[in-house]
Structure 1
């Protein structure tokens, strides 16, 4: 059920740039500057925040939300224009923690430690990231001071349920040693309300109810650096995260209507309840060696890593016959399901950078070896005997081995002061084999992919610049997506994963114009071959309409976007704005009519259409006091009717208000999210066959947050390096 909730909640991921986090907090520090500095280089947008009025008393997370092209929809993950995900780098090193741990890291990193933020919308060949990933590189200040510092943070937020979170971080530097550590925990309850309907002119299935999910998370990280010499550094990184789901329940009242053989309407009512418990533990170990070859940036970087992930999920589901008032009459069916997942990964990377007189050469390679083991078990209750019987069709033991190696080469050159360019390519080799033990179902793949990249920037004059970028990438399915399990929503409505999913090929282009380091026009295009989604396949069996959301490749998608933005301060930094208006055109084409595992035939699901969608993002911060210690934030976004692969998404909008008080080393914040309760998901799709599918979902986005943060110690300490994990890409594919 967890994966289903994630899938439905991320339906709006394709509009990431238009949505802003409802807790957009813009904090102004007690420093006088004239403007924020934004510079466009050949492959990245650079935001110089070393003297920014939003730094003091802020966190890295909130500062990132002030950065052009960056937004957040859930106060947890960060997104870049046109990207479904933002990968966090620190000092050029990719973080290898999961989303929860990265959130804790950013919310506990003082913004005063940051020199600049680099936004890389289309990563070059040297970056080992997925096709839909953009990069945010946080460059820390270089001033080095021995000592210790840290902070505590506690937050309480109220929606339909009350939730809490807390974290603490400690940083220490002495002579050749540098240590950074963090411990975070969270206890939250989420509820999602559903009204779903599918069917055709002869049969319909309407499900109304809720999904409630309680979680407790705890985890942290430890980074240690030791300077072997002035040019050599040895680093060790460990991070861990434990998550436990409790009090998780799906409760749906289903109304099933169909025409019988006499062409009369018949109605059947039932209730589906699912109770789920799960826990997962993720441990990452990384050893890093760095050798600086000169003072121009030449270096060698070597990583070795081990990742171990384990998850256990237990589901108990029952379907009861009811009357029209949802009162239980009898038991229709009951089953127990156990869904474990275990992942072991060994990884290594080598990167070489050499700065010559007229250009910079980059080269390197990576290797990943991953083994997954998923032994799914399902048993049904025999209503005649009262005993549970193993379902041989729904129980399977799937093992999967994958080896991925890659080589890259790139050249970076400045042609005078006005033109800079980067040319590169990756060559990736994939060798994978998966099998459902005891069956004839297996999947084996061996292929190579050549992935070129190119970017160029032209500084026309001091106030005008223009840049162009092109990248090609592979997007591989997550490991949980290829585990052939079923996750039931109702007895005849469920998600089914697919071991036969192929990697998608993605080609990205971007053209950007900047004026006076405050205004920008971005035009981008992304074309995906063998695109994937949860394809909703329907068929009618004995008068009942069955719906399967099957993860599979369906065809192609083409996404176009044009964004006009402004990031500027007015009235001597009293009023700060980050505005974006734009249009996007999402086009999809493809067709699926068969279950890729069972080969059962369904009515074809056709994806063929496009739609022009406007959006507006308005972020405002107003300084309320001359002492620069009271601030008001007012933020709003609107997204028009949008075409996605599952159908048409109705307009979305959200209004948020924030009040913040800074008192010495203390920061107090009150955030009111989705005040008008307008951020609701409504998806509608009608197929040429007459089959329709409707999803009406509300995720309890209207909430109130109260947060207290305290910073202590010497704030000028340079942290230990956040080491890029060799297993970082593999970690992202665990889905946690």
Structure 2
């Protein structure tokens, strides 16, 4: 049930442009009359480094809150993070990719105290050595390691009041003894994710409207364990384990539906209930060997992920009237939607440094994934005679990826350096289904084999100690995620649902970025992305015409996961990050624009073979060739209120102008957040108020030339107040 509507929210989160932030905050200490200034934010080669340990922002915050305030990062939905000009973000922890799913990762970050973080690295255009996809950027979170023998730690408690109340708690510890270092964290919480939801779709002579509430209660528990052991002066062995479990029982959807067609006006209730639980466990073993005094090294890494999700839904449709009276049950759908994912990956890298400032890197990786989705669908029709329709489907997907890369990085002078590389990837995948829908027999076996050559280039020029300019180019693939290709239907109402698609193929992305920085405080960033065969969610609307020629009697709306033409995204951003008045006021401010060019069309549901027609039987095609330009503003401010550095006021604001994406036009969004924080010895008390003006509500309009209209209104109760104690 989360994925039914959050998939729509993710469309927004994926397409809405992330604003940019820079940080050049400094921390000053006086020692015997000498002032030592530590730079908090700086550019290093292919990444921007935020030294959290030197920032006053970290204390008392969660890691997720800290990331939202990190230069170039933002979040508009409080679930997903974005890098400026990038569609997606990959989270690395201590230089190794996190294998947690999106929901587990968000909860993990929200329950990890920011005091555990040493630094955050933002890699806007990853090099060939990284196995990333599409326009992914990388956020590398470097956890603190205790450098001296002993034990330390922290704990955090928080309570959030939105529509419902939620609470979280976490405990973390660091231990070191000689060559052995251990860090661990345990966290958990419970909350109810609430939505008020309206979905409208209409043609010239028919319409559907669904409006109501969605409540999704969640209980979470998880944590991590990191162990590193220094074998000798040149080698180190590290083991990390991340785990997360979620339980969401009695998640409910209550939507009142108004249906208008050629036979009149009808009213129904959709009352759905879902019980789900998921488990995510990942292991990572890393070995590093230094081979010379210049910094050359061998890195060997092996990782394993086991993800299980068990989902049970009971979707009911009741007859009703204009007064919203709940009458007889007409349709009931029982679904079991289990998903089991096993992933193994191995990687070997060797970096050779030479005395002439040349670095050669070579390596390879292997990634094997198997997903098992044994779905059951039983539909009961309650007429004069109750009938049942069973549609089980066992979908298994195997994917093997082989990757090889070579990069050369050269420092030509104190001012000029460059990096060139290439990656070659071989992908072999096979999806099988034992019970495909009638007319789509191709679903029985879907085999894909493709090879890709992916070049990379990066140039960096330091004009002087105050001015720096850099350019990067990369090409990447974007493979569909495992849940996107699982051919299940997530029902919202009888006529509206989302549909995953095993026929989705990989898309290609070409990215360019030009960045200018002055004193690590002022910046200009230009981005351009060209995406071929965009993977997205497309609304198909009309009367479904099945492959056998039968036409449905009600107007239907299906959100289909598919490839949808090509797209270009261009953005320009200028900003400042600076401290004023002896660091009493630190501000991140950025303003810019994004231009989207869409070019896609779709006329058939590829998972069923259904086409859509109007009342006269004429074919309906969904087109999106609309271009849009949007204004983007974001500012984060931290104000120190006293000399003792114990009271801090935070004032944050973002604004995103309306823009065109695949689903239609997203109306403007904004959020004003205010916080107050008190540091008292080893304690931190904080009060955060988010979306004070209640302006962070998703609304999407879509007008088609064929007369179709779609509208989404999604209030996820972003206005909330959180009280925390660390």
1:253/1:138 CA distance change after superposition, 3 Å: closer
1:96-131 residue CA offsets vs partner (Å, 9 max, x unmatched): 3444356535753554862x4332111010011222
Aligned to 1:87: 90
* Equivalent runs, 1:707-726 vs 2, <5 Å: 707-709=724-726
Asked if 1:695 corresponds to 2:705, the answer is no
1:432 counterpart = 2:435: no
Q: Which residue of 2 aligns with 1:723?
A: none
Q: Do the aligned partners of residues 26 and 655 (structure 1) sit closer, same or farther apart at CA in structure 2, a change above 3 Å counting?
A: farther
Report deviation, 1:357: 1.7
Moved more, 563-572 or 37-46: 37-46
Q: CA deviation at 1:138?
A: 3.9
Distance in 1 separating the partners of 2:629 and 2:67: 29
Q: Is the 8 A contact 1:508 1:527 kept in 2?
A: yes
> Hey, what does 1:273 align to over in structure 2?
271
The Cα shift of 1:67 comes to 2.7
When normalised by structure 2's length, the TM-score is 0.92
* In 2, Cα distance between equivalents of 1:292 and 1:18: 38
Question: CA–CA distance in 2 between the matches of 1:249 and 1:102?
Answer: 22
Does residue 250 (structure 1) correspond to residue 249 (structure 2)? The answer is no
C-alpha contact 2:571 2:593 (8 A) present in aligned 1: yes
Change (3 A) 1:530 1:635: same
Q: Any residues of structure 2 matched to 1:321-720 within 5 Å, and which?
A: 321-358=319-356, 359-383=358-382, 389-392=388-391, 395-438=392-435, 440=441, 441=443, 442-540=445-543, 541=551, 543-602=553-612, 603-709=620-726
Q: Give the distance between the partners of 2:295 and 2:332, measured in 1 at CA.
A: 63
The Cα of 1:207 is off from its aligned counterpart by 0.7
Deviations 1:611-640 (A, max 9, x none): 110011011111111211011111111111
Look up the SS of the partner of 1:544 in the other structure: coil
Q: CA deviation at 1:39?
A: 3.5
Query: Structure 1 residue 508: deviation in Å?
Result: 0.5
Q: Does 1:312 align with 2:310?
A: yes
Distance 1:117 1:2, change over 3 A: closer
Instruction: Using the TM superposition, give the Cα deviation of residue 82 of structure 1 relative to its aligned residue in structure 2, in angstroms.
Output: 1.6
Given that 1:36 and 1:568 are in contact with CA atoms closer than 8 Å, whether structure 2 keeps it comes out as no
Contact 1:464 1:514 in 2 (8 A): yes
User: Aligned pair in 2 of structure 1 residues 488, 75: CA closer, same or farther (>3 Å)?
Assistant: closer
**Aligned position for 1:5:** 5
CA contact (8 A) 1:484 1:496 kept: yes
For residues 220 and 408 of structure 1, do their structure 2 counterparts lie closer, same or farther at Cα, with a shift above 3 Å needed? same
- 8 A contact 2:201–2:208 mirrored in 1: yes
Matched residue SS, 2:70: coil
In structure 2, what is the Cα distance between the partners aligned to 1:256 and 1:56? Answer: 53
**Contact 2:526-2:571 at 8 Å conserved across structures:** yes
2:540 and 2:331 mapped to 1: Cα distance? 23
Corresponding residue SS for 2:463 = strand
Range with bigger deviation, 570-579 or 372-381: 372-381
The Cα RMSD (Å) is: 2.4
Tell me which moved more, 93-102 or 335-344. Answer: 93-102
- Tell me if structure 1 keeps the 8 A contact 2:27–2:40: no
Residue 198 of structure 2 contacts residue 714 of structure 2 at CA under 8 Å; is this kept in 1? yes
CA contact (8 A) 1:35 1:568 kept: no
Deviation string 1:175-196 (CA, Å, 9 cap, x unpaired) is 1211111111120101111111
Instruction: Report SS of the residue matched to 1:423.
Output: strand
2:24 and 2:41 in contact (8 A); partners too: no
User: Paired residues, what number?
Assistant: 699
Q: Secondary structure at the match of 2:484?
A: helix
Distance 1:563 1:300 in 2: 39
TM-fit CA distance, 1:402 = 1.0
Distance 2:16 2:252 in 1: 28
The 1:98–1:543 alpha-carbon spacing in structure 2 relative to 1, beyond 3 Å, is closer
Describe the superposition over 1:498-534 as per-residue Cα deviations: whole angstroms up to 9, x where unpaired: 0000011111100011112100000001111010111
SS, match of residue 329 in structure 1: coil
What residue ranges of structure 2 are gaps of 5+ in the alignment?
A: 31-35, 544-550, 613-619
How far apart are residue 53 of structure 1 and its match?
A: 4.3
Q: Which has the higher contact order (CA 8 A, sep 6+)?
A: 1
Separation in 1, partners of 2:516, 2:420: 20
Is this contact kept in 2: 1:18–1:616, CA < 8 A?
no
Superposition map of 1:155-166 within 5 A: 155-166=158-169
Query: Cα gap change, 1:464/1:15 in structure 2, threshold over 3 Å: closer, same or farther?
Result: farther
Label 1:75 to 1:20 Cα distance change in 2 as closer, same or farther (>3 A).
farther
CA contact (8 A) 1:622 1:631 kept: yes
Deviation at residue 143 of structure 1 after TM alignment = 7.5
Q: Which 10-residue stretch deviates more, 379-388 or 511-520?
A: 379-388
Could you tell me which runs of 5 or more consecutive residues in structure 1 were left unpaired when the two chains were aligned: 261-265, 710-736
Tell whether the 8 Å contact from 1:25 to 1:658 is kept in structure 2 after alignment.
Answer: no
Secondary structure of 1:251's partner?
strand
- In the superposition, the TM-score normalised over structure 1's length comes to 0.90
Q: What is the deviation of 1:543?
A: 4.5
Task: Report how far residue 343 of structure 1 moved.
Answer: 1.2
Q: Shift of the alpha carbon at 1:220?
A: 1.4
Q: How does 1:155-194 map to 2 (within 5 A)?
A: 155-194=158-197
**Aligned-pair CA distance for 1:59:** 5.5
Counterpart of 1:721 in structure 2 is none
* SS state at 1:10 partner: helix
**Displacement after TM superposition at 1:318 (Å):** 0.8
Partners of 2:52 and 2:642 lie apart in 1 by 22
Q: More displaced, 289-298 or 663-672?
A: 289-298
Choose 154-163 or 339-348, whichever is displaced more. Answer: 339-348
Alpha-carbon distance between aligned partners in 1 of 2:340 and 2:42, rounded to the nearest angstrom: 44
| Separation in structure 2 between the aligned mates of residue 141 and residue 357 of structure 1, nearest angstrom | 31
Contact 1:101/1:220, CA 8 A, preserved across alignment: no
Report the Cα offset of residue 174 of structure 1.
0.6
Moved more, 133-142 or 572-581: 133-142
Q: Which moved more, 1:319-328 or 1:24-33?
A: 24-33
Task: Say which is worse superposed, 222-231 or 209-218, in terms of deviation.
Answer: 222-231
Please report how far the alpha carbon of residue 54 of structure 1 lies from its aligned counterpart in structure 2 after TM superposition. 3.7
Q: Displacement, 1:670? A: 0.4
Q: Cα deviation per residue 1:249-271 (whole Å; 9 max; x = unaligned)?
A: 111101111234xxxxx211111
Match of 1:226 in 2: 229
